[in-house]
A = this chain, B = another copy of it.
């Protein structure tokens, strides 16, 4: 079923059909009716390929995320999709699974489909040819940023987030605070670790390297690392996690060890999936404001796409969204300092902002 079939069926020319369908001003109203009716009856569906070939009116926007089975990225995808369709774009989602080759293929597919713009969470090992492919395409880096990519980025301020979280523990009296986080090849891993370190430096507290465990953002890694930390001669009194997945693993290790929080150990998680609040006691955490981040990324891309300038400014505008420190029930003064049981908190859902950072224009 093509535009020509419709034309033939109606005994008119195919260009008239095209005009009728695109609501061209100088077209007979009656003809429009006839065409619309025929389209309906014959079940004609326009061919997007032909259209975008002729007039470069493609409306595809690509979103490449490391994984989507995770509440964080799932929600991101939903929000970005929403924002795209509200602006007349069609979003295409792909999962790179942190594999640079898969990432390359996805970027290639998007470029072949002449995507108008891309939002990408770059893998640490981003291929050189991928970066080349991305040249000149409206791009926004999401959640992570790669040095090779000269494009604006939107990410959570992990340094401040972990700084505030660590300070909270230090203030409670903890001196042996463990950190299980991601490797520093990811920008996020490096930043979060830096926050943890900085808090110690500022407070003049000695940092024990044995208390830092860096690895992949995988529950199993955290489970092993935490199990290991608990067996130390001088074990930590508090534990900080560097990602959502790592928090899950830590929780598992703690359950295996039969430890109770915050009695035996204080814990601050990362991310804030809905079940953290449901946990008993609620999990104190460094939350990532998903909605704000996704909105900011969408805005940043839309700004590039609708930019009046011929060459949209792809400057290194890095938007840093503040993390949210959510104080719940898994933190308390270390065992040896708690002499009054009454000091223990229960379900506290107070929330406060962890410092102030730059914010993108709405």
Contacts and interface: CB of A to CB of B under 8 A. Distances in A.
B68 A77 contact: yes
B47 A53 contact: yes
A273 B310 CA distance: 47
Interface in A131-161: 132-133, 135
Contact of A105 (B58, B74, B85, B248): B85
A263 interface: no
A255 interface: yes
Interface in A66-83: 67-71, 73-75, 77-78, 81
A67 B92 CA distance: 15
A275 B53 CA distance: 48
A93 interface: yes
A274 to B, nearest CB: 6
Contacts of A102: 85
Nearest to A90: B109
A126 interface: no
A133 B122 CA distance: 37
Nearest to A109: B90
Interface stretch (A111-119, A181-189, A234-242, A313-321): A111-119
A252 interface: yes
A87 interface: no
A68 B219 CA distance: 22
Given A248-B275, A275-B275, A278-B252, A94 B111 contact: no
A280 interface: yes
Contacts of A85: 102, 105
Contacts of A132: 43
A219 B111 CA distance: 40
Contact of A112 (B45, B93, B280): B45
A112 B46 contact: yes
A150 to B, nearest CB: 16
A93 B90 contact: no
A343 interface: no
A3 to B, nearest CB: 13
Given A43-B132, A114-B48, A135-B43, A95 B77 contact: yes
Interface in A241-288: 248, 251-252, 255, 273-275, 278-280
A361 interface: no
Interface of A: 43, 45-50, 52-53, 58, 67-71, 73-75, 77-78, 81, 85, 90-95, 97, 102, 105, 108-109, 111-114, 132-133, 135, 219, 248, 251-252, 255, 273-275, 278-280, 347
Given A45-B133, A53-B53, A69-B75, 12 more contacts: A45-B112, A49-B49, A49-B52, A49-B58, A68-B68, A69-B71, A77-B95, A78-B95, A85-B105, A92-B93, A252-B278, A275-B275
28 contacts: A43-B135, A45-B112, A46-B112, A47-B112, A48-B112, A49-B52, A49-B114, A68-B78, A69-B75, A69-B78, A70-B74, A71-B74, A74-B74, A77-B93, A81-B94, A81-B95, A85-B102, A90-B109, A91-B94, A92-B93, A93-B93, A219-B274, A248-B274, A248-B275, A255-B278, A273-B275, A279-B279, A280-B280
